[in-house]
Amino acid sequence: MANASAGRTAKAKKPAAPTWHELAAVTDAKRRLWLLSGSRTGWAVCGREWDAVAVEPMAAGLDALAAMRAGTRTGYQVLADHLSDRLYVAVPADSAGAFEGIPGVRVLSSGHQLLTPCTPRDGTAVADWVSRPHGDAPLALVAADRFAAHLRELVSAARAEAPVS
């Protein structure tokens, strides 16, 4: 009986998944990685397999991902441009219509390219993986309609809280 109890306590609980905001935070470790990476980036073509939704400010996109409970361990393609305070979220191609009229949001589709780190160990302040695809796994894309709905909800809430002058 004692062995069964020891076996249960020996199994460590899986650590909690980091939040989107934690993953996007600029830390000393991330700065060191950028210095060591050699700033190897390249251009990824948008509009074939996926579109990139650019959200400003970055916090609005992170809040929307958190509100929709998109898992941070799923392998979504999410990039941060810390210098422009912009978040890029990959959604299925031809999803631009879902984001029409949302302030601070634009969609990069056919004819656009997105600066991405060449490998998971590369990156810069303008092309930083917040979440990246898992190796050879199929590309995980954020559901465009759900992401757009949460962005709209956040914009509406912010407008309702804004003081009237």
Q: What is the pLDDT of residues 37-78, one digit of tens each?
A: 777 888 999 999 999 999 999 999 999 999 999 999 899 999
C-beta separation of 75 from 142 below 8 A: no
Report the distance separating Cα 155 and Cα 43, nearest Å.
30
pLDDT of residue 66: 96
| pLDDT over threshold 80, residue 118 | yes
3 in the Ramachandran plot: left (φ > 0), alpha (ψ -120 to 50) or beta? Answer: alpha
Averaged pLDDT for residues 112-135: 88
Whether the predicted pLDDT of 36 surpasses 90: no
Give the domain ranges of the chain. 33-154
